[in-house]
C-alpha cells in the first residue's frame, strides 16, 4: 500500500466542476496509460495499492484532471477526496494506518488554496 508522492500540481480554477470518472478518462489518455497505469497516471491520485500497481482499480482518490493539456489539481476533487477520508464513505477502503498520510498529502493542497482541511476544522 502506498501514498503517492506530493506533486505540487498547479491548481485548476476553484469553480471547475469535478467529475471523477470523466477526469480519470482524460488523465488516462493524457498519460498514455492505455493498457496499464504508469507514473503520470499515478500522479493524479492520492493512493494506490503498491502490491498491484498494474491494475487501474488499485488507484484511489483522484484529485487531478487534464486542463489545457496539463495535469492540474482540481479544488472540488480535493474537497471530494477529503470528504471520503473524513468519514463520508469510510476512507475509501484504505488501510487505517495510511489515512493520516493521505490526509497530510491533502493538507498541502488545502494550504495551497489557503483553506483549512475539514479534519482540522
Q: Which is nearest to 53 in space by CA: 65, 38, 40, 32?
A: 38
Q: Which residues contact 69 (CB under 8 A, 6 or more apart)?
A: 30
What integer pLDDT is reported at residue 91 of this predicted model? 57
Residue with cell 500540481: 9
Q: What is the per-residue pLDDT across 19-76, written as a single tens digit (0 to 9) for each? A: 999 999 999 999 999 999 999 999 999 999 999 999 999 999 999 999 999 999 999 9
Q: What does the pLDDT look like over 17-29, one tens digit per residue?
A: 999 999 999 999 9
Domain parsing of the chain, residue ranges: 2-120
pTM here is 0.92
Amino acid at each position: 500500500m502506498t501514498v503517492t508522492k506530493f506533486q505540487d500540481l498547479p491548481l485548476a480554477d476553484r469553480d471547475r466542476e469535478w467529475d471523477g470518472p470523466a477526469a480519470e478518462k482524460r488523465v488516462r489518455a493524457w498519460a498514455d496509460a492505455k493498457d496499464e497505469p504508469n507514473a503520470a497516471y499515478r500522479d493524479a491520485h492520492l493512493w494506490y495499492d503498491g502490491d498491484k500497481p498494474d491494475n487501474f482499480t488499485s488507484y484511489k482518490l483522484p484529485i487531478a484532471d487534464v486542463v489545457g493539456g496539463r495535469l492540474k489539481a482540481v479544488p472540488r476533487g480535493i474537497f471530494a477526496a477529503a470528504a471520503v477520508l473524513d468519514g463520508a464513505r469510510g476512507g475509501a477502503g484504505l488501510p487505517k494506518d495510511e489515512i493520516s498520510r493521505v490526509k497530510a498529502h491533502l493538507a498541502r493542497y488545502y494550504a495551497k488554496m489557503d483553506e483549512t482541511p475539514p479534519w482540522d476544522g
